[in-house]
Amino acid sequence: MKTKIAVANGDGIGPEIMNAVLNIFEASNVQLEYEFVEMGKSYFDAGHSTGMTALAKDTIEKLGILFKGPMETPKGKGVKSINVTARKVWNTYANQRDFRSLNGVDTVFSKAGIPINLTIIRENIEDTYGGIEHLLTYDVAVGRRIITRPGSEQVIRYAFEMARRKGYTKLACGHKANIMKLTDGMFLEVFYEVAKDFPEIQASDIIVDDLCMKLVSRPETFQSIVLTNLQGDIVSDLCAGLVGGLGFAPSANIGDNISIFEAVHGTAPDIAGKGIANPTALLLSGISMLRFLGDSVNAAKIENALLYTLEQGVHTGDFGDKTIPASNTTEFANAVIANLGQTPANGAVVATQGFEERGEAFKPLKNKLTSTAGIEEEMIGIDVFVQSDLQPAELAELAKAVLTDNFNLVMISNRGTQVWPTGSIFTELVNEYRVRFEKKDGKAITQKELLLIAAEFSDKVKVCSAEFLMNFGGKIGYTLAQGQ
């Protein structure tokens, strides 16, 4: 019985490379049935603000698998990326990208005889990709970076399970917890909590800038790395560069109910319709999809045929030996088809799982909500963010005027650096300050009192936003200012 999946051709070169990949699948007798869905730039242009039709959404949610070509989000129209929206709406919390040296794809590392074989797991739905941004003043923009304990645990556990399936002995956590102590700090804390359940895997952590340096100098020292969303986005593209570019980088977005397999390179409108595009990245993503669906036999057969084809020097115009004439998209796909059953002399793959096999698709009755119970909470104070052209000492006098017997004015900062009660005359300012009020020792305060402080302050200066200061389980739930 064939498995039905949703297929979106994509924009630009998408239809050409999708046709090539599906032809290879057919030649290998892959037991899939396709339901094509309407997504991408033309659907934005037709007035669908999400970039997909309602029928496409319903189809994908019913089938649970989306195989998609590259898609373009129109610029300057205020709409969200179709690629990011799809990953977030369907909770595909883990992005898995496997990078390996490919025969016939020359890089500085292949020429030096340094093989690359590593996997990046990127958290896929949180972080700055929530796209929650505001202009607090004309000169000051802020964005919320959302890192959650349940979201971190979900993707980190997936990363350890992936490492176990692949037989890896090491998993590193890339982070910036030395600067972002609460957000990246939470991600790192959860990493080591989950690591206790996988004692056979060596867990380590590395600051992300150091990680980038080591990836381009000694990439062979890494097996698998898990990162937050933005850092993972950057590092995974860096790793694509190590193996020849995005044209050789598969991408799998894994969720509990819906998963997406896609090419993450651009739509290349300059060569669209010319039949010369490289289908390798989409084919590798399709191979990942086959493994996810449990068809590891066909996955290995097609991947070996691809590796053998590359080994023979067959290439499209964007890579390869320039003394050998380039193949067009169809010719490249036909070469892979002709080589089904062949195995490369170097780097042959065997039929292994690579993914936890997909369970039975189901539609939940309500949105899943996860929270940690039993944590003692204590209100400490409030940070009030205000717009002002005053000097710090002048602003402090206005803030002191709204104090009650329960509160102290503790600190004023500008762009995260303390400017009152101490600071430096050399700290340059913008017209947005953070004013911190904290309760006095021994006082109990309410949420209403904190909001009243902000309300009273709004009579004296423009309030842009406010954040409560909390302790959770006896631990401080906010950061100090630079210099505080």
The overall average pLDDT reported for the chain is: 94
- Cα separation, 94 vs 102, in Å, equals 24
Q: What is the pLDDT of residues 47-56, one digit of tens each?
A: 888 888 899 9
pLDDT at 364: 83
> Closest by alpha carbon to 86, among 72, 105, 66?
66
Strands (E) located in 154-236: 170-175, 202-207, 224-227
- Cα separation, 73 vs 131, in Å, equals 15
Would residue 327 be called left, alpha or beta, if left means φ above 0 and alpha means ψ between -120 and 50 degrees?
A: beta
Query: Could you report the average pLDDT of every consecutive run of 10 residues in the chain (484 residues)?
Result: 95 97 98 95 83 92 96 74 88 96 92 93 94 93 95 97 95 97 97 98 98 96 97 97 95 95 94 96 97 94 97 94 95 98 90 68 83 93 97 97 96 97 96 97 94 96 97 93 89
pLDDT at 64: 95
Report the 3 state secondary structure along 255-312.
Answer: CCCCEEEEECCCCCCCCCCCCCCCCHHHHHHHHHHHHHCCCHHHHHHHHHHHHHHHHC
pLDDT at 75: 73
Beta strand 202-207 with 170-175 is: parallel
pLDDT at 142: 94
pLDDT at 483: 87
pTM for the full model? 0.91
Q: b vs e for 381-391, b when ≥16 Cβ sit within 10 Å of the residue's Cβ?
A: bbbbbbbbeee
Cα–Cα distances in angstroms (integers) from residue 473 to residues 194, 378, 419, 476, in the given order: 20, 8, 30, 8
Beta strand 377-387 with 224-227 is: unpaired
Token pair 């669209």: residue: 272
pLDDT at 2: 93
pLDDT at 78: 65
DSSP reduced 3-state for 64 = coil
What is the sign, positive or negative, of the torsion defined by CA atoms of 319, 101, 8, 338? positive
